[in-house]
Structure 1
């Protein structure tokens, strides 16, 4: 075993072509050398190139300067927490025996025999994935040791690197059950009873791969050493740019075709990127869509300059304190020299600004300063509840220091474990106004608020999730802002021309119902019903969808901006519409005499879909309804109280009542008997179709209509939601007044109405996907990839965990649904149809929201091209393999699909994080500054998850938000924290910077088996 456990630093001296051990002909000797051998190896093992990721490089790599890094912990391995990841409902999968498509499986799931890289404190360690053990992943490392990690811990993988059977000889000597918390992420020796050579074959293959990658590094050392210089933007006003690992490797290694890349080459580049650390990789779903953020060279020079100023300033302080014999003249000269240091002038200005800020705002250790002692009265014009006062100006060099504080504290671009990160605490220490505080990023963000560079309530989410490319948060020269400017210019001269003119079906007086909330501005879809020759056994169900794709061409400025942002984004405090609101409202939104594209399904009363078709059209008789109107009209509501939204608390004063523009007359009652009859029939047909899908495996997780949600309503001014915000470093600013925030709890009382809309939209997605599939049209199809090796059978989890909760409470908790999703699979998007087990459909696509989702718009462009082609040629495209008429080739759709799920999940995370930010802001002001009354205690339910930093995850049922409950004597007394426990707890702290809500447990109220106290 000595050779197997050798020091990896020595591996750099080994030439792979002379290695004696060569199991299974992994790298056969040939006249073609390493290149040919690697090609042969990839062919033998059927390994597609997957982009990779890493952390600190091994010592075989060159010692380049490291400025940036990613977050980590000082322990054997660093696990990557993914508690905040939120998946769409259609990610739910009932499971099946269908084989996993090779095009995605190696990127989504780890399977036995996959090679992975694990991040250690000192260097990356190669390992083989062995199996899932409960919620832990088991790996066997190149060092001959095993380790258990969280599922997100492996950030790079080569699929099927070794034969799974090769692990059988070591498997009996590895733990078959999950390990205790203290053993997680730590290397453990194999059982002493294991045979001497157990696992040797696997280790040999990992060693050979490691050595081959080192050889590739040495071969291309000159360019790899200059990797950052080669790929980083060098223009004076360049913004951050984004590249995939494959793009980086192709450019650095000067390959004409990415297919020339081998996995060892990719790993060599991957480790070099990690060492550069001026490049940040995405820490969520990396294997699925590896994208790197590359910091511009000019910005890097500025940050390096700040470090130099800080060093000089600190050295001057040290000289002053240690040189007592210095003459008064020398001391004066030294002081004068130090005063010229930009950091010295910044410190002086910062102290004055902080003193002014603290006259009206309290300091806290939560990363946010307190609310203003001045409250601004709101006038009848709904002006802002705060005013901004400009004060001292920052000069250019001070702005560079602020830029550093931004990337360190706001964007979290700099890691606390690098020498660059020490500059932040050094600046805070020099200012001297944070005694007793941890001089970390949280306090750095506090400083930026006290300077007025960011508002005292700023939502950091839009700065942390930079690759969302939301406009208004860059320097103004960035891609998103440029695309937005071009789009606005195009809107000014926009003259819509209908590409489907002459092909549209006139739907005449057929009533079309749009069911949306009263404040909806983008009317994407409506539904209608058509009799089938007076045959009451089947009906045509039509979903009419707005048709912007017929007027916006794919290469227009509006289309390019829509592709960049991906979807309309609504945070509580601001909006980012995908398409210009004026254009959508005045010309494209579904309304009388407006164009549409209609997805039609002929459905029997038993729920069988007998026929499907897609057609362009014009709707003439559109009716706007709210869920309340439909619920009341169909008699589906239970009580009047169930219709109300309850305000839990409000901080900052009384929330203004903003007038509702009810030009669509959504405030009226649904009273027309004919309309009520149509909606009843649509409800019945949608439900029948859903039952058919359930027979095909689609699960249903809600049996109750009453589901509570909490959402913050934020008032920053009448027009604040249209503004975009960014770091403002021109002046010190002082803010008088604060946003008004109301936390509202809404109990969903329209379960059947919600299901009515969802059922019909799913039918439309089924029709669109089936229509395209029959014609071999590449579009972004959605489907489920089943987890090949779940930790436990998903059917068992559903039967034992989900079903009892649904029966008892009417729905399952989100935490349980996420656990179930991890067991059964993940949603994926492909240019070819994928079975969607969660919906019980052989093919599915999103096609009903083209005004606010680019993927729907993209699908419509493909469909309309096919409709025009069929009309022009007079022949059907069913069974055709010709795609020359399409705006997007299959290769383009494949590339587009590859990044779709990743972006959707990041956007969902951004929305969830923003919502939580404002909930924490409201609780912060209510708890610490008594702006609103809070209950003495709350009921908290224990959810799945291990204790982190002395806290257990919990669910505050009153507000339906996640909290963390402190481990305490009360918990120990009750034999620990258990899943499903209900505790009485009191609020003990709110940390808006980290978005934590802390609870102190008081007593156990309920445990499985019954309620313990009344």
Structure 2
């Protein structure tokens, strides 16, 4: 039976529990689609060479949002009040004041309530109050009352009434929305605005715009369809066009309905089977699938044992018979895949019962919960997916792509030949004969940036040149290849499932370029084209001038970042002990041999060594200038996952499925953050690119604070007063602290106009140095090349916005109108890509589960730190790679009452359950750690 508590999983009992508006508990709000959380903390990642600091959308006081609890079928409208005491606060339309640490709203109306309408409620909420103060206020019912919120409740009721009126007037089309909007075989992606064009009459528009209530009526219609629509993004404001809905194809909805009918018929047949002589159950279509499924599971268990952890017990591999599935069986398997893998069913959907019924009927999972984790295990046992498949890959779907089990993403192949053009800058390239240092790991196959230095006539002034690969010079914008790369706009670095924006083999057998793929052609090497971003600087970090030029590199030197870091005497991070875990059989080192010659810093000639040291000194001085403006000073190492697969497949006949041995998984902490010389140079290039384009008023994907610096002084004071002192002591700020800084800056957004980027300490910024693996960089390169070509055609004069305003947009590769449509979707896809990359946590959970149950090599001591107190239990993280964990009342084991536990309290714990499919760890307390004074050294376990 499903739990009434929403502490453990996304699927809770919302069928038999009370669903009155007053009974609904909004204390733990529903999570949104992967990669689209609203109000959660910002993510801090360090990419290979440059900072990628990504903020999420944040509601503002007065915004009206739709909220849903993970234990409820009934959503509520609510007014967002603000963030106080480490919680988001809302006043809901049911007359209740609610708090939640994080939330995701699929629908939001900006500035719904006026500041004066919020005042009666906000006067009851002190910005200085703690979480405990607010909890006490809720218990004593001394918080905002219905009388305080009467105006807001009346306005929300009026909004809902208007919504219902729109719904009733357009009932026929809205109730048939899926039939009218869906394709037969392909997913479709539409915004509410696009749906309004198809579902609502023109008379519903006021001055050409659809009202928020009308849009909400469409949204309500979509949510009433159990299986057919799914929001895949959450935008800050209703008017944003990147608020997309995924519309499932008709063949999938028909399949789900078919299995629903099969399940209903099977249940009726079971009931009638008690009648003597009734053979309806034997002849039921679902019975035929059950017979095949039982046989397949029994065959699997001959070589692999089952576990309750969302994975099968590790084995050395083998073969299982390949079932000849009936058509009806394939349909049921597809249904189970949709249910267990893709997360397409709402937590409150009745369709979950069909999956549970099918698992019960199979009769092979009597001692396991009949939920999606068990269905995932079933798919592993029958060979439909590999036993080490990464569940997170299925939770995120890129528009226009298909997920390939065990592999990557499938896109329709573009025409390479028609997407090429002759070098747009062929006659304008500058020869670069000085050494260009390309600093990448030897295993890196895409070399898209390098650095060089040029001395000037002044002893204290130098040109730093950052050379980026230049595929934009030979690829047509708006071509098939352009649209192909836009679908996956960033390389996805998920172990075992690497997905390139531009695959290494693409273009290798095309026309006159048959000898080289696009990656081979444009990766930096001797005599290759580049786009060079240059800054004239001094040793104090001042930037006097900058320029962008096409170039040809004549002398490329390949080096490794760790070697450069050691040579420059760069400080290295101190790693915590016990942060390494390995399971499985290691199968030797990678057999990849880089084709390029790697050079050690000590083997450079004296002039080259002096160049490297000078570049390090200059880029460090530039970073110091950014630190003075509040830039984030240091990024702590993150867990790094390495996966090795067994390349020797078991010998299998045509009627067998080969199951290789389980992969070797190694989890450790990053040994370093790479080379500061490289990361600082890449940020400098991004600043140059932004300033160069901004002074010409060229639209490119600028990255900026969403609040546009409005609260910059508050952010600076908070960072310097609260966060940066911790970092200086080697203490990483927690999620709540980082979230507070994100609220002050607004998080990071893509925009066609520049703005400040607080965490980099820059007035403007645009990524520019990785056009072979980031589509946003490629857009910038196309725009820059178009501007340079126009300037050359005019005789070398720079584009002047005041004089050439009509020419600028007309001569660009992408017009302002195009980018206005492109950038929101690009930001969405980038967000989805980061969500997939976070699937590395699945590998970590697999390693932990295997180490716990089979290899026995977990650390002897695991510490759980409390991050959040709920009525049902405690949420926190482990000192094991920072993994999130849950400790419920049973897990406390009588060592404390939940109400007596505070945030930051610590317990020594043992693992109680690891669910790889659900991404969840339960722990049991072994002892409470009491800290003497402020020193961890005084900690003792009770």
Into which bin does the TM-score normalised by the smaller protein fall? 0.7 to 0.9
Shift of 1:807: 2.7
User: What is the distance in 2 between the residues matched to 1:558 and 1:73?
Assistant: 54
Alignment correspondent of 2:7? none
SS in 2 for 1:552: coil
Alignment correspondent of 1:396? 327
User: What is the distance in 1 between the residues matched to 2:137 and 2:710?
Assistant: 21
1:117 aligned to 2:66?
A: yes
**Could you tell me which of 295, 309, 313 is aligned with 1:352?**
295
Shift of 1:284: 5.5
Alignment correspondent of 1:576? 499
User: What is the distance in 2 between the residues matched to 1:191 and 1:965?
Assistant: 29
Shift of 1:871: 0.5
1:232 aligned to 2:179?
A: no
User: What is the distance in 1 between the residues matched to 2:601 and 2:518?
Assistant: 26
1:200 aligned to 2:150?
A: yes
**Could you tell me which of 99, 114, 117 is aligned with 1:163?**
114
Structure 1 residue runs of 5 or longer lacking an equivalent are 1-54, 56-65, 67-71, 92-103, 376-385, 721-729
**Could you tell me which of 673, 683, 699 is aligned with 1:778?**
699
> Aligned in 2, Cα 1:261/1:943: closer, same or farther, shift over 3 Å?
same
**Could you tell me which of 621, 626, 641 is aligned with 1:712?**
641
SS in 1 for 2:67: strand
Alignment correspondent of 2:51? none
**Could you tell me which of 366, 369, 386 is aligned with 1:455?**
386
Shift of 1:857: 0.5
SS in 1 for 2:694: helix
User: What is the distance in 2 between the residues matched to 1:540 and 1:682?
Assistant: 10
Deviates more, 1:881-890 or 1:967-976: 967-976
Superposed CA offset, 1:94-148 (max 9, x none): xxxxxxxxxx99x943233222222363533323222322222222333443222
User: What is the distance in 2 between the residues matched to 1:631 and 1:698?
Assistant: 21
User: What is the distance in 2 between the residues matched to 1:402 and 1:731?
Assistant: 19
Q: Give yes or no for contact 2:373–2:917 (8 Å, CA) kept in 1.
A: yes
User: What is the distance in 2 between the residues matched to 1:783 and 1:351?
Assistant: 56
Listed as ranges, the matches of 1:362-377 within 5 Å are 362-372=305-315, 375=316
Q: Give yes or no for contact 2:643–2:666 (8 Å, CA) kept in 1.
A: yes
User: What is the distance in 1 between the residues matched to 2:400 and 2:878?
Assistant: 32
> Aligned in 2, Cα 1:170/1:299: closer, same or farther, shift over 3 Å?
closer
Shift of 1:887: 1.9
Q: Give yes or no for contact 1:645–1:744 (8 Å, CA) kept in 2.
A: no
Alignment correspondent of 1:142? 93
**Could you tell me which of 883, 886, 889 is aligned with 2:815?**
889
Q: Which has the higher contact order (CA 8 A, sep 6+)?
A: 1
SS in 2 for 1:353: helix
TM-score, with normalisation over the residues of structure 1? 0.79
Shift of 1:400: 0.6
Alignment correspondent of 1:603? 537
Q: Give yes or no for contact 2:876–2:886 (8 Å, CA) kept in 1.
A: yes
SS in 2 for 1:884: helix
Shift of 1:425: 0.9
SS in 2 for 1:838: helix
Shift of 1:844: 0.9
Q: Give yes or no for contact 2:639–2:667 (8 Å, CA) kept in 1.
A: yes
Deviates more, 1:693-702 or 1:212-221: 693-702
Alignment correspondent of 1:803? 724
Shift of 1:278: 2.9
Shift of 1:280: 3.6
User: What is the distance in 2 between the residues matched to 1:696 and 1:794?
Assistant: 11
Superposed CA offset, 1:739-782 (max 9, x none): 2222244432xx6x632211111111111111111111111111
Alignment correspondent of 1:560? 483
1:541 aligned to 2:474?
A: no
SS in 1 for 2:245: strand
1:877 aligned to 2:786?
A: no
Superposed CA offset, 1:166-191 (max 9, x none): 22234445677466699799999776
Shift of 1:427: 0.6
Deviates more, 1:985-994 or 1:437-446: 985-994
Listed as ranges, the matches of 1:244-393 within 5 Å are 244-255=191-202, 259-282=208-231, 285-287=234-236, 289-321=242-274, 323=275, 326=276, 331=277, 334-335=278-279, 337-372=280-315, 375=316, 386=317, 389-393=320-324
Alignment correspondent of 1:87? 43
Alignment correspondent of 2:171? 221
Q: Give yes or no for contact 2:97–2:143 (8 Å, CA) kept in 1.
A: no
User: What is the distance in 2 between the residues matched to 1:136 and 1:763?
Assistant: 37
Shift of 1:685: 1.3
> Aligned in 2, Cα 1:298/1:75: closer, same or farther, shift over 3 Å?
same
> Aligned in 2, Cα 1:783/1:895: closer, same or farther, shift over 3 Å?
same
Shift of 1:975: 9.0
How many residues are aligned here?
874
> Aligned in 2, Cα 1:178/1:805: closer, same or farther, shift over 3 Å?
closer
> Aligned in 2, Cα 1:1009/1:392: closer, same or farther, shift over 3 Å?
same
Alignment correspondent of 2:583? 651
SS in 1 for 2:220: helix
Superposed CA offset, 1:68-114 (max 9, x none): xxxx99943360345997624599xxxxxxxxxxxx99x94323322
Q: Give yes or no for contact 1:527–1:543 (8 Å, CA) kept in 2.
A: yes
User: What is the distance in 2 between the residues matched to 1:367 and 1:1002?
Assistant: 25
Superposed CA offset, 1:305-353 (max 9, x none): 11111111111111113x2xx3xxxx2xx32x43333210110111111
Superposed CA offset, 1:936-982 (max 9, x none): 223x362633358534312315x454444565157628995555555
User: What is the distance in 1 between the residues matched to 2:909 and 2:765?
Assistant: 45
User: What is the distance in 2 between the residues matched to 1:590 and 1:787?
Assistant: 36
Q: Give yes or no for contact 1:408–1:421 (8 Å, CA) kept in 2.
A: yes
User: What is the distance in 2 between the residues matched to 1:766 and 1:789?
Assistant: 21
Q: Give yes or no for contact 1:130–1:138 (8 Å, CA) kept in 2.
A: yes
Q: Give yes or no for contact 2:565–2:675 (8 Å, CA) kept in 1.
A: no
Alignment correspondent of 1:33? none
Shift of 1:877: 0.6
**Could you tell me which of 606, 609, 632 is aligned with 1:676?**
609
> Aligned in 2, Cα 1:813/1:747: closer, same or farther, shift over 3 Å?
farther
User: What is the distance in 2 between the residues matched to 1:623 and 1:638?
Assistant: 24
Alignment correspondent of 1:1000? 924
> Aligned in 2, Cα 1:568/1:809: closer, same or farther, shift over 3 Å?
same
1:868 aligned to 2:789?
A: yes
Alignment correspondent of 1:666? 598
User: What is the distance in 2 between the residues matched to 1:789 and 1:185?
Assistant: 32
TM-score, with normalisation over the residues of structure 2? 0.85
Shift of 1:388: 5.2
Alignment correspondent of 2:833? 907
**Could you tell me which of 320, 336, 341 is aligned with 1:410?**
341
Q: Give yes or no for contact 2:704–2:764 (8 Å, CA) kept in 1.
A: yes
Superposed CA offset, 1:710-739 (max 9, x none): 32221224599xxxxxxxxx9984625222
> Aligned in 2, Cα 1:577/1:644: closer, same or farther, shift over 3 Å?
farther
1:856 aligned to 2:741?
A: no
Shift of 1:679: 1.4
Superposed CA offset, 1:671-729 (max 9, x none): 32211211111112112212222333324245xxxx54432221224599xxxxxxxxx
SS in 1 for 2:501: coil
SS in 1 for 2:157: helix
1:503 aligned to 2:432?
A: no
Q: Give yes or no for contact 1:80–1:150 (8 Å, CA) kept in 2.
A: no
1:465 aligned to 2:396?
A: yes
User: What is the distance in 2 between the residues matched to 1:458 and 1:741?
Assistant: 13
Alignment correspondent of 1:727? none
Alignment correspondent of 1:690? 623
User: What is the distance in 1 between the residues matched to 2:416 and 2:22?
Assistant: 49
SS in 1 for 2:97: strand
Alignment correspondent of 2:3? none
Deviates more, 1:983-992 or 1:401-410: 983-992
